[in-house]
Amino acid sequence: MKNLKVPLAIENYIDNLHKRVTEAPLGRYLKDMAGAYQDAESVLVEDNPLVYRFWTFEPFPGGEGELAFGMTDLYPGLVGQEYFMTAGHFHRGSGGEIYVGVAGEGLLLLLTRDGELETRTVVKDTLVYIPSGWAHRMVNIGDETLRFTAFWPTGIEHDYASIRRDGFGYRVLKTEDGPKVVKCK
CB of 143 to Zn ion, least distance (A): 25
Which residue has the CB atom at the shortest distance from Zn ion? 97
Candidates 16-24, 107-115, 116-124, 150-158: pick the segment binding ligand PAN (CB under 6 A). Answer: 150-158
CA 26 from chain centre, in angstroms, equals 12
Query: CA 73, CA 53: separation in Å to the nearest integer?
Result: 6
Which residue from 50, 58, 89, 119 is in contact with ligand PAN, where contact means CB under 6 A? 89
Residue 106 within binding range of ligand PAN, rule CB under 6 A:
no
Q: Which is nearer to ligand PAN, 28 or 43 (CB)?
A: 28
How many CA atoms does the CB half-sphere of 133 hold within 13 Å?
6
Please state, in angstroms and rounded to a whole number, the distance separating the CA atoms of residues 42 and 10: 39
CB 69 within 8 A of CB 54: no
Find the shortest distance in angstroms from Cβ 176 to ligand PAN: 29
How many chain residues touch Zn ion (CB under 5 A)?
Answer: 1
Measured from the CB of residue 177, what is the shortest distance to ligand PAN in angstroms? 28
Residues 6+ positions from 47 with CB-CB distance below 8 Å? 30
Cis peptide before 61 (omega within 30 of 0): yes
Q: Which residues bind ligand PAN (CB under 6 A)?
A: 28, 54, 70, 72, 86-89, 97, 136, 150, 152, 158
